[in-house]
Structure 1
């Protein structure tokens, strides 16, 4: 179910998230939210973040073929990693693609970025992985 609201930006660039959207996403006063801006699409993704989240930004170069995203998400799920946001694009059809993900490691047994990168690099379609912690 999608909820659409139109809001105005104030003189300081702020917007108010309407009550209907805050309730639907369980956004409460004092919570942290992640904003991801896509310059090409001119859109912003707003995602509530748990208080103890350990956010990591992943950039993954992969072979372009059917099922690659499923392999990536299965590996992350098997390791208890929560995917907050994802976007995958084809760079060269049938050859190479790139996935951008924001993940939460707070409930995972993975304790560091190298371990996460190594886990993903073991997947057959993965060509390159970069992981960077996001600090709030």
Structure 2
């Protein structure tokens, strides 16, 4: 079944370079909940893209890598519900990983709140 091609997670869906992360952080537009902090910035019609920052506060390398896998999976599953044409940098807050459905919900809700802030800021300026 080829209907899942739009849910693939290729390099075009990721932020890979420091400059891309810096651009998102420079916008200083974020939202957070108890699980995630999500920074958001517009991109040039590239669809939603994600970058991950998982610090040592989260745990050892095994835990950090598990967080990254889970966040990538949440993004892959939910990318159609994420704000269009936005770059997201996602930072986990909690050392304890929530279930995948809770992580997906957190990602979508937090990203939408951050996008709303970005739009509001754009309307004011």
Q: Which one has a larger percent strand, Structure 1 or Structure 2?
A: 1
TM over 0.5: no
TM (normalized to structure 1)?
0.27
Radius of gyration: which is bigger?
1
